[in-house]
Amino acid sequence: MSNIISLFKRIFFKKKRKHTRFHVPNKSVVIITPTTEDGIHYQVNVIDVGMGGMAFVYEGSPEELQKSGYLKLFNNSVKESKIRFQTVADKKTEDSQYRKRSIKFEWFGKLGERDLMKFIKEKGYMPKE
C-alpha cells in the first residue's frame, strides 16, 4: 500500500528545484577535491549549474569520487572558492565510459556565494523559449 502512495506522490508532486539551473555550453571545468590531504584531485566537465547545485560528467568509478567533498570554482579572477557538496545522483551516460553526477551544494559562505554567482554569469546559458 505504501508503494502505491509513494508512486502517486512521485507522479503528482514532483520536486521542483529551488534554484534555476543554467546550461554550460562550453567545456567549463571545475576541480573536485578530497576531504583529506592524501586524496586525488579530479577535473570534471560541468553540464549545468545553479545556486543550489550542479551536474558534471567525469571518467572513472563512483567509488573514486566518494571521498571527495569539495569543489573548486575557477573564475577569471585569481582566487578560487571551495564549496562543500553532497551527491544526489550518479549514473552512467549512454556511452558508459563516462558518468554523470548531480550534486547539491551544502556550504559555501558569503565569498563562495559571490564567486558562484560570478561563475554562473560567466559560464551559464539560459536558452530562450
Question: Is 4 inside a domain boundary?
Answer: no
**Confidence (pTM):** 0.74
Range of the domain at 91: 17-123
pLDDT of residue 78: 43
Cell (9 digits) for 58: 567525469
Task: Give how many domains the chain has, as a whole number.
Answer: 1
Residue 5 included in any domain: no
Q: Is the pLDDT of residue 75 over 80?
A: no
Per-residue model confidence as pLDDT tens digits over 14-68: 666 677 888 888 778 888 887 666 667 888 889 998 888 889 998 887 877 776 7
21 lies in some domain: yes
Average of per-residue pLDDT across 108-124: 79
**Nearest in space to 99 (alpha carbons), one of 50, 53, 63:** 63
- How far is Cα 86 from Cα 95, in angstroms, rounded to an integer? 25
In a domain, 10, yes or no: no
Average model confidence (pLDDT) across the chain: 78
CATH code for the domain in which residue 59 is found: 2.40.10.220
Q: Please, which pLDDT band fits residue 129 given cuts at 50, 70 and 90?
A: very low
* Of 61, 18, 27, the residue nearest 47 (C-alpha): 27
Burial class (CB in 10 A: 0-12, 13-18, 19+), 78: exposed
- Asked whether residue 88 is assigned to any structural domain, the reply reads yes
- Whether residue 3 is contained in a domain is answered as no
